[in-house]
Structure 1
């Protein structure tokens, strides 16, 4: 049936006098999609993709019926594709496109359409398929791609449900995050947003709502492109999470899987939005690295098949010079997207490119009102004497009375600060959950003359508050959950935040495999060289001790010890040069492996690494092994010259023979070994990257298996490749070469153990984590010795959050504050002891006296 459909589509394209490239451009799909469609190699046809192509080809109704009749039996052949493309509105009213009195074209094949000339575009692009309203029966076609989309949807839903629970969004109830239409200059024209044909009047957009209605608001936007604006801490990320969960919880399966990704580190000048989304999927969902019959990964196929709805969080966190190019890159497409940003940063980008996000509606989050605070804050106080009393305000009574008055400078200032969920959460943590802290001090304008001082006060005391001393449970299952010194924790977190601020622009993603990048490049080169030299030196000694103990070598000579030391030094130079080469190519930071070693990976029907990846691994191994072989040959020649075992006349010739032979032997062995390992690699399971520590555990197991396989393969490979290479060289060249099996095995053991250990420890993500984050950074007191447990503990305390395979600070404001405090750590600490703060608020000590107390002063950076 797929071959029949491909034949029909090819005939229709030729009838329209269009090439595949022209059809792909007009239908706004990729050329590869058209090719697979016509060759019958696209078994999972999406009705929307077929619809877009059919519109361009001006397919008649009877032709459309024949096309849909050839689809897979699991995909119903609908006589009216508008049933899927334009579902009923979520409020139960028909959409304008479905009203008979307004003949708006639905895009169904067979309806009159403007004439399409080869190489030109139609008058208006086809609207994207809307998400189904609740209750609409829509399903993906069966097949591997549909299974990948369904499993991705389940994993995304579980992940963000867990994160929403961890953030205590529903404790005691969600803050009322409301939104309203943004100014008209920040959104496209209504007729463009509604994808109307010329002459059709636009209806009024209803863009008012809150957390409970954000999914319905998005469904009412025909273009399915939405921008969410709000000031820092206003709840944009929480709204995005709620939006994703609402879409995934709808009774009908969504046509696209919503995926949240932070774009603060995106460089739109070098990475397209499509590649950004594919890379994100591969990082957080390694099972999508499986390849299809076309050679593309499942992640790329999901994106190219329009099965992913990107929710781009943090547009304002892009470098200022990159916001304009980023907006232009997004405007070059019409695919559905949700974008969050602060208003001022987005407005400047709009002015820079002279256009908002095309086809996009835009909403703006409103501040919390005093009534919202009065309903929320008293219910978070579970420490007061009034607990259990109906309507009691607890410690917040005096503050709320002042806010209700709203006629003083202090109440106005505090009301503005507490207008965002972020500051309300910080205030709740500091005053509702710590005995003895009195929020009345927030009304002290002498101590906090501006709102910026109030915000810095709440940010500065958040970390010390959550790290306050607590009695641990006797059987606490949480790893790393123990009392830590608040000042030490703040210093370590400050270093992590500061490491994210280094580079071209500030990053949000705190990835365990990038912690080594915070160390200066010369130190990293020295670190790699030392690891390589030490591993080869240790492997030499282990093999020699083994040989002496079993009688292969009578004793260890002094010259042998020196030769081992020099060979270790040469190996260190080789590994150092390799790191410099990687630095020149911008690849010094190893990324986590997305594969595992499986014998079944080479069997038919099981996903495995593409042939080009195996060839690349073989080439890299061939080059690295050849360099190591040359180093070994000249090290041996140097010691032969010093020992006088070879006549000077024959020394150069022997060195050249060894150089050629060992370069070929070492190079072929390393190349074949790395290629073999690549052939046995298969993508990891879907749950492998559920959390950063889970991904770390998977990489540790993979690195261990890689070491064992590489060591055994190199040991055997040197013996076999040596015998083959020596035999061939003796037939081609007039040389006399020998390759004894016992010596070959000893040399192979040295190369296998030393080279494999150096590779795993210096050039893999887990190895860099082990040697840098677990040893070097704790040794220099920049991180604790139990780094993994510390990160997990910070997540449990609410300082960090999990975003797939990486951590992020709870908010960019907290990250920036900790980085700033770390940069000026020599000035003191931002921690104010709770007891001293309480006495100051009660009048027994002035704020100035508190600031003068040793170790108890508060550093407030100038606003």
Structure 2
């Protein structure tokens, strides 16, 4: 797990728009009533750990990469709430925190893992169950069974239960009010005392959750709090005027730190990044002087909207004039990105910034409901037309309604989640082999009872052995251990899952074909007697037809198993359908990789993410 997180940190933001002069984000201690006082936290820690085990109180103000020191050394309970406004730099701070915690980590110690709370549905699973499911998405092989002492639990569940992760709960503000309250309650009920834990969100939403009307404040138990400070005007000026950046910044610099619309906007790293992206470069969409015009930009909202509107078009226009040509023009790129943002957000309210190829087939619940009702209606009509001619009308109506409802329920409630596979490995399965041997012997016995073949040990041994081999082999495929030396990227994971799909299809096709072919050969060899005048050469066409039928049946079984056990099959079908409708390009992964190089997306392990949740929100509107 630590290896995977390190690889993600290394590849999280290597695009051409990575800042060569990043802004150092500063914070200060939260002084309101949203978190507990440091003195009270020290007394709490002393009462649990004993005298002399907790350091003296120190200031938890800081900047840059000091957040790990604050968490592990300055907060007595090692619990921290990180608060800030829109685009204040929470994501950047968390990335630096994960890097620092990994650097400090010794073998065997817990691993820091970012957990986007906006992907958690408290009504469907507990917080601990969801944490385990997120670990599986980070590393698919963690879905495999843990060692015997854990009683059949998965490796991910074992890591959570033994507190081998440092949970960093992100995107708290993306939850509904009720879900935020439930999240704090469940975090408090985890009981992970004296174990590092971080929660981050916007300050307004967090205050709304904690300071409940006419009720006791719902604080995160044992947690100190820090609030991200606005970017100082001189720091913002240095960032805009950094070496190698063209543009007329004098008018903008004069507005920094003021209450003007552009001055209020350019107080966060995100807005400064967008401003520099849009106003700098050889083909800028706008200039700093234009942003200061209150006629066109009367308030902060207008400035923010303009910067977001111009960002995608700017990065694609800039690259169009260079040797490197983008995957497509700016208009099509914006159309594709808007669809991906909407599709992602509509599937699950507040779904975060991840663009995972294995969730491409997900559709909104309302659309899924319509599809399920349509299929159920067609199925019910077919059932009624089939049954009504041979059964009373009342019985036919009952069967139609019952079976139609069952079809609708099965389609609507079937799980859509597909977890990508790291590949296939094989081991012999004794139980399927035993069942196969019994089935083979039973099939021979049926042929003997019907008088089609003579009773002899040979047919029983041959077919029992054949079915045992097929059963033990075909059911012996399972997830393969991941190669930790290979970075887990979207391209590498999709290649592994595609190999898994092809392997499953080929295995089942060959297995079913072999069973039919050898069964036919057995019947011919032991038939008693052969039809008069029949020759083996005359049986070849029938045998080939039977073998072709068997191969087709095996292919169907293999495709069903492949679609059920892998994510590549449903991804390919959904991508092709969306491409036919013009929603995404046929070469979707190439487009996403190109958007990553241009800085619109960033890579996080095996997924892509929009550069910021606000960018996704803007594109999805």
For residues 402-417 of structure 1, the aligned pairs below 5 Å read 402-403=255-256, 406=258, 410=260, 413-417=261-265
Matched position secondary structure for 1:598: strand
- The reply on whether 1:277 has 2:131 as its aligned counterpart is yes
Residue 748 (1) aligns with residue 544 (2): no
* 1:782 equivalent in alignment to 2:583: yes
Report 1 or 2 for greater relative contact order, CA contacts < 8 Å, sequence distance ≥ 6: 2
1:366–1:284 Cα change, 3 Å: same
Show the counterpart of 2:442.
none
The residue number in structure 2 matching 1:334 is 191
Match of 1:857 in 2: none
Question: Deviations 1:401-421 (Å, cap 9, x if unpaired)?
Answer: 3436x4xx53xx322211111
Residues 472 and 482 in structure 1, CA contact (< 8 A), matched pair in contact too: no
- From 20, 40, 45, the equivalent of 1:172 is 20
Partner of 2:387: none
Once the two structures are superposed, residues 805-832 of structure 1 have per-residue CA deviations (whole angstroms, 9 ceiling, x without a partner) of 2222111111111111xxxxxxxxxxxx
- Preserved contact between residue 16 and residue 598 of structure 2 (Cα < 8 Å): no
1:288 pairs with 2:142: yes
Alignment CA distance shift 1:473-1:342 (3 Å): same
Counterpart CA distance in 2 for 1:681 and 1:264 is 29
**Aligned residue pairs, count:** 528
User: Secondary structure at the residue paired with 1:239?
Assistant: helix
**Does the C-alpha gap of structure 1 residues 750 and 165 become closer, same or farther in structure 2, counting only changes over 3 Å?**
closer
1:707–1:581 CA distance, 2 compared to 1 (3 A):
farther
Structure 1 match to 2:219: 356
For the residues of structure 2 that align with 1:501 and 1:328, how far apart are their CA atoms? 26
Please tell me whether Structure 1 or Structure 2 has the larger radius of gyration of its CA atoms: 1
The 1-side partners of 2:375 and 2:468 are apart by 19
The secondary structure found in structure 2 opposite 1:339 is strand
Relative to structure 1, is the Cα distance of residues 672 and 304 closer, same or farther in structure 2, using a 3 angstrom cutoff? farther
Aligned twin of 1:593: 420
> Equivalences for 1:793-804 in 2 at 5 Å?
793-804=594-605
Displacement, 1:264? 1.1
Q: Is 1:440 aligned with 2:267? A: no
**1:700–1:523 Cα change, 3 Å:** farther
Correspondence for 1:659:
none
| Residues 283, 317 of structure 2: 8 Å contact kept | no
Shifted more, 505-514 versus 680-689: the winner is 680-689
* Contact 1:669–1:714 under 8 Å retained in 2: no
1:500 counterpart = 2:344: yes
Partner of 1:765: 567
**For 1:312-711, what aligned pairs fall within 5 Å after superposition?**
312-335=169-192, 336-352=196-212, 354-379=217-242, 381-383=244-246, 395-403=248-256, 406=258, 410=260, 413-435=261-283, 437-468=286-317, 470=319, 482-503=326-347, 505-508=349-352, 509-518=354-363, 520-521=367-368, 582-587=410-415, 589-599=416-426, 601-602=427-428, 676-686=474-484, 690-711=488-509
**Which residue does the alignment assign to 1:815?**
616
Q: Would you say the 8 A contact 1:285–1:689 is kept in 2? A: no
Distance 1:780 1:192, change over 3 A: same
Residues 378 and 395, structure 1, Cα contact 8 Å, conserved in 2:
no
Shift of the 282–403 alpha-carbon distance from structure 1 to 2, 3 Å rule, reads: closer
Quick one: structure 1 residues 721 and 298, their matched pair in 2 at CA, closer, same or farther if it must change by over 3 Å? Answer: farther
User: How far, CA to CA, are the matches of 1:505 and 1:598 in structure 2?
Assistant: 37
- Residue 221 of structure 1 corresponds to 75
Secondary structure of the structure 1 residue equivalent to 2:47: coil
CA displacement at 1:360 relative to structure 2? 0.8
Q: Deviations over 1:562-614 (max 9, x none)?
A: xxxxxxxxxxxxxx999856534341x24133352223x449xxxxxxx9xx9
Q: Name the SS of the counterpart of 2:205 in structure 1.
A: helix
Gaps of 5+ in 2: 377-403, 440-462, 524-541
Deviation at 1:699, TM superposition (A): 0.8
TM-score for the superposition, normalised by structure 2: 0.76
Q: Is 1:162 matched with 2:11?
A: yes
Per-residue CA distance 1:247-292 (angstroms, 9 max, x = gap)? 2223856832111122212112322222222212211212333433
State the distance in 2 between where 1:154 and 1:168 align: 26
The answer as to 2:618 corresponding to 1:791 is: no
CA-based RMSD: 3.8
Q: Structure 1 residues 341, 710: CA separation in 2 closer, same or farther (over 3 Å shift)?
A: same
Cα deviation for residue 213 of structure 1 reads: 1.1
Task: Quote the offset at 1:320 in angstroms.
Answer: 3.0
